[in-house]
Chains A and B, each alone.
Chain A
Protein backbone atom coordinates (compact mmCIF):
# COMPACT_ATOMS: atom_id res chain seq x y z
CA UNK A 1 0.00 0.00 0.00
CA UNK A 2 2.69 2.43 1.09
CA UNK A 3 4.98 1.31 -1.70
CA UNK A 4 2.25 1.95 -4.28
CA UNK A 5 1.63 5.40 -2.81
CA UNK A 6 5.31 6.18 -3.12
CA UNK A 7 5.39 4.92 -6.71
CA UNK A 8 2.27 6.94 -7.46
CA UNK A 9 3.97 10.10 -6.30
CA UNK A 10 6.99 9.35 -8.46
CA UNK A 11 4.74 8.67 -11.44
CA UNK A 12 2.92 11.95 -10.90
CA UNK A 13 6.27 13.71 -10.84
CA UNK A 14 7.29 12.15 -14.15
CA UNK A 15 3.93 12.93 -15.76
CA UNK A 16 4.12 16.55 -14.67
CA UNK A 17 7.66 16.98 -15.93
CA UNK A 18 6.97 15.22 -19.21
CA UNK A 19 3.61 16.89 -19.79
CA UNK A 20 4.70 20.51 -19.50
CA UNK A 21 6.43 20.77 -22.89
CA UNK A 22 3.55 18.90 -24.51
CA UNK A 23 1.08 21.51 -23.27
CA UNK A 24 3.15 24.19 -24.94
CA UNK A 25 3.63 22.20 -28.12
CA UNK A 26 -0.09 22.12 -28.91
CA UNK A 27 -0.52 25.88 -28.72
CA UNK A 28 -2.25 26.97 -31.94
CA UNK A 29 -0.80 29.48 -34.36
CA UNK A 30 -2.05 33.05 -34.25
CA UNK A 31 -4.82 33.71 -36.75
CA UNK A 32 -2.53 35.70 -39.02
CA UNK A 33 0.43 33.31 -38.82
CA UNK A 34 1.37 30.68 -41.38
CA UNK A 35 3.41 27.53 -40.66
CA UNK A 36 6.59 28.07 -42.67
CA UNK A 37 7.84 24.61 -41.78
CA UNK A 38 4.69 22.88 -43.06
CA UNK A 39 4.61 24.88 -46.29
CA UNK A 40 8.25 23.97 -46.86
CA UNK A 41 8.57 26.43 -49.71
CA UNK A 42 12.33 26.83 -49.84
CA UNK A 43 15.21 24.53 -48.85
CA UNK A 44 16.13 25.80 -45.41
CA UNK A 45 19.88 25.47 -45.88
CA UNK A 46 19.89 27.62 -49.04
CA UNK A 47 18.07 30.68 -47.77
CA UNK A 48 19.83 33.99 -48.37
CA UNK A 49 17.76 35.76 -45.71
CA UNK A 50 15.82 34.36 -42.81
CA UNK A 51 14.10 36.54 -40.26
CA UNK A 52 12.13 35.30 -37.26
CA UNK A 53 11.01 38.06 -34.93
CA UNK A 54 8.38 37.48 -32.28
CA UNK A 55 6.32 39.61 -29.91
CA UNK A 56 8.72 40.33 -27.06
CA UNK A 57 11.61 41.46 -29.24
CA UNK A 58 9.26 43.43 -31.50
CA UNK A 59 8.05 45.33 -28.45
CA UNK A 60 11.66 46.09 -27.57
CA UNK A 61 12.28 47.25 -31.14
CA UNK A 62 9.27 49.50 -30.77
CA UNK A 63 10.66 50.96 -27.55
CA UNK A 64 14.11 51.43 -29.06
CA UNK A 65 12.84 53.30 -32.14
CA UNK A 66 10.08 55.29 -30.46
CA UNK A 67 11.98 58.57 -30.43
CA UNK A 68 13.81 58.35 -33.76
CA UNK A 69 11.01 56.81 -35.86
CA UNK A 70 7.64 56.97 -34.10
CA UNK A 71 5.66 55.68 -37.10
CA UNK A 72 7.83 52.59 -37.42
CA UNK A 73 7.70 52.09 -33.63
CA UNK A 74 3.91 52.31 -33.67
CA UNK A 75 3.66 49.61 -36.33
CA UNK A 76 6.10 47.39 -34.42
CA UNK A 77 4.11 47.78 -31.20
CA UNK A 78 1.06 46.18 -32.83
CA UNK A 79 2.84 43.19 -34.34
CA UNK A 80 3.13 39.69 -32.94
CA UNK A 81 5.59 38.24 -35.42
CA UNK A 82 7.58 38.95 -38.54
CA UNK A 83 8.92 36.04 -40.55
CA UNK A 84 10.83 36.32 -43.79
CA UNK A 85 12.49 33.73 -45.99
CA UNK A 86 14.36 34.79 -49.10
CA UNK A 87 15.64 32.17 -51.49
CA UNK A 88 18.04 33.04 -54.34
CA UNK A 89 16.83 32.16 -57.85
CA UNK A 90 19.66 32.04 -60.35
CA UNK A 91 17.56 31.47 -63.45
CA UNK A 92 14.09 30.80 -64.79
CA UNK A 93 14.51 27.07 -64.32
CA UNK A 94 14.76 27.60 -60.57
CA UNK A 95 11.53 29.57 -60.64
CA UNK A 96 9.80 26.84 -62.63
CA UNK A 97 10.88 24.24 -60.09
CA UNK A 98 9.37 26.41 -57.42
CA UNK A 99 6.02 26.83 -59.12
CA UNK A 100 4.27 23.71 -57.69
CA UNK A 101 5.25 24.74 -54.18
CA UNK A 102 4.00 28.30 -54.75
CA UNK A 103 0.69 26.96 -56.05
CA UNK A 104 0.39 24.68 -53.05
CA UNK A 105 1.09 27.56 -50.66
CA UNK A 106 -1.51 29.73 -52.40
CA UNK A 107 -4.08 26.93 -52.08
CA UNK A 108 -3.18 26.53 -48.42
CA UNK A 109 -3.81 30.22 -47.80
CA UNK A 110 -7.10 30.31 -49.70
CA UNK A 111 -8.36 27.16 -48.01
CA UNK A 112 -7.83 28.82 -44.65
CA UNK A 113 -9.70 32.02 -45.23
CA UNK A 114 -6.92 34.27 -46.46
CA UNK A 115 -8.14 36.85 -48.96
CA UNK A 116 -6.14 37.56 -52.07
CA UNK A 117 -5.42 41.26 -52.30
CA UNK A 118 -2.96 41.03 -55.18
CA UNK A 119 -2.19 38.35 -57.72
CA UNK A 120 0.17 39.83 -60.26
CA UNK A 121 2.14 38.06 -62.96
CA UNK A 122 4.30 40.04 -65.33
CA UNK A 123 7.36 39.01 -67.35
CA UNK A 124 7.82 35.92 -65.29
CA UNK A 125 7.61 37.82 -62.01
CA UNK A 126 4.86 36.78 -59.68
CA UNK A 127 3.48 38.55 -56.67
CA UNK A 128 0.82 37.32 -54.30
CA UNK A 129 -0.38 39.39 -51.39
CA UNK A 130 -2.83 37.78 -49.00
CA UNK A 131 -4.55 39.27 -45.99
CA UNK A 132 -6.20 37.54 -43.06
CA UNK A 133 -9.04 39.19 -41.28
CA UNK A 134 -10.50 38.47 -37.85
CA UNK A 135 -13.30 40.38 -36.14
CA UNK A 136 -13.27 43.02 -38.85
CA UNK A 137 -9.57 43.69 -38.46
CA UNK A 138 -6.57 42.64 -40.52
CA UNK A 139 -4.44 40.32 -38.39
CA UNK A 140 -2.04 38.89 -40.94
CA UNK A 141 -0.25 39.73 -44.17
CA UNK A 142 1.46 37.14 -46.34
CA UNK A 143 3.52 37.94 -49.41
CA UNK A 144 4.77 35.43 -51.91
CA UNK A 145 7.12 36.91 -54.43
CA UNK A 146 9.04 35.28 -57.27
CA UNK A 147 11.60 37.13 -59.36
CA UNK A 148 13.31 34.71 -61.77
CA UNK A 149 17.03 35.39 -61.92
CA UNK A 150 16.89 37.20 -58.59
CA UNK A 151 15.05 35.69 -55.66
CA UNK A 152 11.84 34.33 -54.23
CA UNK A 153 10.46 35.45 -50.91
CA UNK A 154 7.86 34.45 -48.37
CA UNK A 155 6.90 37.11 -45.85
CA UNK A 156 4.40 36.76 -43.02
CA UNK A 157 3.56 39.67 -40.77
CA UNK A 158 1.29 38.83 -37.84
CA UNK A 159 -0.64 41.22 -35.65
CA UNK A 160 -2.99 44.14 -35.92
CA UNK A 161 -1.74 45.92 -38.97
CA UNK A 162 -2.70 48.43 -41.59
CA UNK A 163 -1.32 47.42 -45.02
CA UNK A 164 -1.37 51.01 -46.20
CA UNK A 165 0.71 52.05 -43.23
CA UNK A 166 3.11 49.15 -43.77
CA UNK A 167 3.50 50.09 -47.43
CA UNK A 168 4.07 53.75 -46.64
CA UNK A 169 6.73 52.98 -44.04
CA UNK A 170 8.28 50.27 -46.21
CA UNK A 171 8.70 52.63 -49.14
CA UNK A 172 10.46 55.18 -46.98
CA UNK A 173 12.96 52.77 -45.48
CA UNK A 174 16.39 52.90 -46.96
CA UNK A 175 17.57 49.31 -47.13
CA UNK A 176 20.75 48.88 -49.22
CA UNK A 177 20.03 45.21 -49.97
CA UNK A 178 16.77 46.21 -51.65
CA UNK A 179 18.06 49.18 -53.62
CA UNK A 180 18.67 47.14 -56.76
CA UNK A 181 14.92 46.94 -57.23
CA UNK A 182 13.95 49.97 -59.29
CA UNK A 183 10.86 51.62 -57.87
CA UNK A 184 8.15 52.55 -60.28
CA UNK A 185 7.29 56.16 -60.70
CA UNK A 186 4.34 56.11 -58.31
CA UNK A 187 6.26 54.27 -55.62
CA UNK A 188 8.86 56.86 -54.75
CA UNK A 189 9.22 57.64 -51.07
CA UNK A 190 6.80 60.22 -49.71
CA UNK A 191 9.59 62.63 -48.92
CA UNK A 192 10.39 62.90 -52.62
CA UNK A 193 6.84 63.50 -53.68
Chain B
Protein backbone atom coordinates (compact mmCIF):
# COMPACT_ATOMS: atom_id res chain seq x y z
CA UNK B 1 0.00 0.00 0.00
CA UNK B 2 2.89 2.33 0.83
CA UNK B 3 5.00 1.30 -2.15
CA UNK B 4 3.48 3.66 -4.67
CA UNK B 5 3.92 6.60 -2.26
CA UNK B 6 7.62 5.72 -1.68
CA UNK B 7 8.28 6.39 -5.36
CA UNK B 8 6.67 9.78 -5.08
CA UNK B 9 8.23 10.72 -1.73
CA UNK B 10 11.36 12.64 -2.99
CA UNK B 11 9.19 14.97 -5.08
CA UNK B 12 6.60 15.33 -2.34
CA UNK B 13 9.32 16.11 0.25
CA UNK B 14 10.56 18.99 -1.94
CA UNK B 15 7.07 20.33 -2.41
CA UNK B 16 6.37 19.95 1.33
CA UNK B 17 9.52 21.89 2.26
CA UNK B 18 8.52 24.61 -0.20
CA UNK B 19 5.01 24.67 1.35
CA UNK B 20 3.32 23.79 -1.91
CA UNK B 21 1.33 20.74 -0.87
CA UNK B 22 -2.35 20.92 -0.11
CA UNK B 23 -3.51 20.04 3.38
CA UNK B 24 -4.67 16.61 2.25
CA UNK B 25 -1.43 15.88 0.39
CA UNK B 26 0.62 17.05 3.37
CA UNK B 27 -1.43 14.83 5.75
CA UNK B 28 -1.00 11.84 3.47
CA UNK B 29 2.82 12.47 3.20
CA UNK B 30 3.25 12.82 6.95
CA UNK B 31 1.29 9.58 7.50
CA UNK B 32 3.57 7.75 5.08
CA UNK B 33 6.77 9.23 6.63
CA UNK B 34 5.64 8.07 10.03
CA UNK B 35 5.08 4.57 8.73
CA UNK B 36 8.06 4.29 6.32
CA UNK B 37 11.50 4.41 7.90
CA UNK B 38 13.34 4.87 4.56
CA UNK B 39 11.22 7.85 3.50
CA UNK B 40 11.46 9.22 7.03
CA UNK B 41 15.28 9.26 6.68
CA UNK B 42 14.92 11.01 3.34
CA UNK B 43 12.83 13.69 4.97
CA UNK B 44 15.28 14.05 7.86
CA UNK B 45 18.17 14.43 5.39
CA UNK B 46 16.30 17.05 3.35
CA UNK B 47 15.52 19.04 6.48
CA UNK B 48 19.14 18.89 7.60
CA UNK B 49 20.49 20.08 4.22
CA UNK B 50 17.96 22.90 4.20
CA UNK B 51 18.94 23.94 7.72
CA UNK B 52 22.64 23.89 6.99
CA UNK B 53 22.24 25.86 3.79
CA UNK B 54 20.35 28.54 5.64
CA UNK B 55 23.05 28.64 8.31
CA UNK B 56 25.75 29.61 5.72
CA UNK B 57 27.00 33.26 5.84
CA UNK B 58 26.72 35.26 2.61
CA UNK B 59 30.09 35.41 0.82
CA UNK B 60 31.37 38.92 0.02
CA UNK B 61 32.77 39.47 -3.48
CA UNK B 62 36.54 39.89 -3.48
CA UNK B 63 39.30 40.30 -6.05
CA UNK B 64 41.71 37.47 -6.11
CA UNK B 65 45.11 38.79 -7.16
CA UNK B 66 46.56 37.17 -10.26
CA UNK B 67 49.83 35.57 -9.37
CA UNK B 68 52.65 37.36 -11.27
CA UNK B 69 56.09 36.00 -11.34
CA UNK B 70 59.06 38.36 -11.50
CA UNK B 71 59.90 36.95 -14.94
CA UNK B 72 56.47 38.00 -16.17
CA UNK B 73 56.94 41.54 -14.85
CA UNK B 74 60.30 41.71 -16.57
CA UNK B 75 58.90 40.60 -19.90
CA UNK B 76 56.14 43.20 -19.64
CA UNK B 77 58.75 45.93 -19.17
CA UNK B 78 60.77 44.55 -22.04
CA UNK B 79 57.70 44.60 -24.27
CA UNK B 80 56.95 48.15 -23.17
CA UNK B 81 60.51 49.24 -23.93
CA UNK B 82 60.40 47.53 -27.32
CA UNK B 83 57.08 49.21 -28.09
CA UNK B 84 58.51 52.62 -27.16
CA UNK B 85 61.58 52.00 -29.27
CA UNK B 86 59.46 50.95 -32.25
CA UNK B 87 57.32 54.03 -31.74
CA UNK B 88 60.43 56.22 -31.62
CA UNK B 89 61.91 54.70 -34.79
CA UNK B 90 58.59 54.83 -36.61
CA UNK B 91 57.92 58.35 -35.41
CA UNK B 92 61.36 59.55 -36.43
CA UNK B 93 61.05 58.04 -39.89
CA UNK B 94 57.60 59.53 -40.31
CA UNK B 95 58.83 62.90 -39.09
CA UNK B 96 61.74 62.79 -41.54
CA UNK B 97 59.40 61.88 -44.37
CA UNK B 98 57.22 64.85 -43.50
CA UNK B 99 60.27 67.12 -43.36
CA UNK B 100 61.88 65.78 -46.52
CA UNK B 101 58.72 65.74 -48.53
CA UNK B 102 58.03 69.35 -49.37
CA UNK B 103 54.60 70.65 -48.71
CA UNK B 104 52.60 70.97 -51.90
CA UNK B 105 52.59 74.67 -52.60
CA UNK B 106 49.23 76.27 -52.99
CA UNK B 107 48.36 77.74 -56.34
CA UNK B 108 48.99 81.41 -55.36
CA UNK B 109 52.42 80.39 -54.07
CA UNK B 110 53.25 78.79 -57.41
CA UNK B 111 52.08 81.92 -59.23
CA UNK B 112 54.28 84.02 -56.94
CA UNK B 113 57.19 81.64 -57.48
CA UNK B 114 56.68 81.89 -61.24
CA UNK B 115 56.85 85.67 -61.04
CA UNK B 116 59.99 85.46 -58.90
CA UNK B 117 61.65 82.98 -61.26
CA UNK B 118 60.87 85.25 -64.22
CA UNK B 119 62.31 88.19 -62.32
CA UNK B 120 65.51 86.24 -61.62
CA UNK B 121 65.95 85.22 -65.25
CA UNK B 122 65.19 88.73 -66.43
CA UNK B 123 67.83 90.02 -64.03
CA UNK B 124 70.33 87.58 -65.54
CA UNK B 125 69.43 88.92 -69.00
CA UNK B 126 69.70 92.51 -67.81
CA UNK B 127 73.09 92.03 -66.18
CA UNK B 128 74.37 90.20 -69.25
CA UNK B 129 73.31 93.08 -71.47
CA UNK B 130 74.77 95.68 -69.15
CA UNK B 131 78.10 93.92 -69.23
CA UNK B 132 78.03 94.15 -73.01
CA UNK B 133 77.67 90.42 -73.20
CA UNK B 134 75.26 88.68 -75.46
CA UNK B 135 74.72 85.41 -73.70
CA UNK B 136 72.98 84.04 -76.71
CA UNK B 137 76.12 83.78 -78.82
CA UNK B 138 77.70 81.19 -76.57
CA UNK B 139 80.45 83.56 -75.45
CA UNK B 140 80.02 82.42 -71.87
CA UNK B 141 80.53 78.83 -72.83
CA UNK B 142 83.66 79.69 -74.83
CA UNK B 143 85.05 81.73 -71.95
CA UNK B 144 84.31 78.89 -69.59
CA UNK B 145 86.19 76.45 -71.83
CA UNK B 146 89.09 78.89 -72.05
CA UNK B 147 89.17 79.34 -68.28
CA UNK B 148 89.12 75.59 -67.75
CA UNK B 149 91.96 75.04 -70.20
CA UNK B 150 94.13 77.74 -68.61
CA UNK B 151 93.59 76.13 -65.22
CA UNK B 152 95.15 72.89 -66.44
CA UNK B 153 98.85 72.48 -65.68
Contact = CB atoms under 8 A, between A and B. Distances in A.
A170 B126 contact: yes
Interface residues on B, range: 35 or more
B128 to A, nearest CB: 5
B88 interface: yes
Given A17-B88, A138-B144, A166-B124, A118 B118 contact: no
A113 to B, nearest CB: 9
A84 B105 contact: no
Contacts, number: 196
A171 B128 CA distance: 9
A186 B89 CA distance: 60
Interface string B106-144: 000111011011111111111111111111111011011
Interface residues of A, number: 69
Nearest to A14: B88
Contacts of B147: 115-117
Nearest to B76: A2
Interface in B26-84: 74, 77-78, 80-82, 84
Interface of B: 74, 77-78, 80-82, 84-85, 87-89, 91-92, 95-96, 99-100, 102, 105, 109-111, 113-114, 116-138, 140-141, 143-144, 147-148, 151
27 contacts: A13-B87, A20-B95, A24-B96, A51-B116, A53-B116, A61-B117, A65-B114, A72-B118, A86-B123, A115-B144, A115-B148, A116-B143, A117-B140, A122-B132, A129-B127, A129-B133, A129-B140, A133-B144, A163-B135, A164-B140, A167-B133, A169-B125, A170-B124, A170-B125, A170-B128, A170-B135, A175-B123
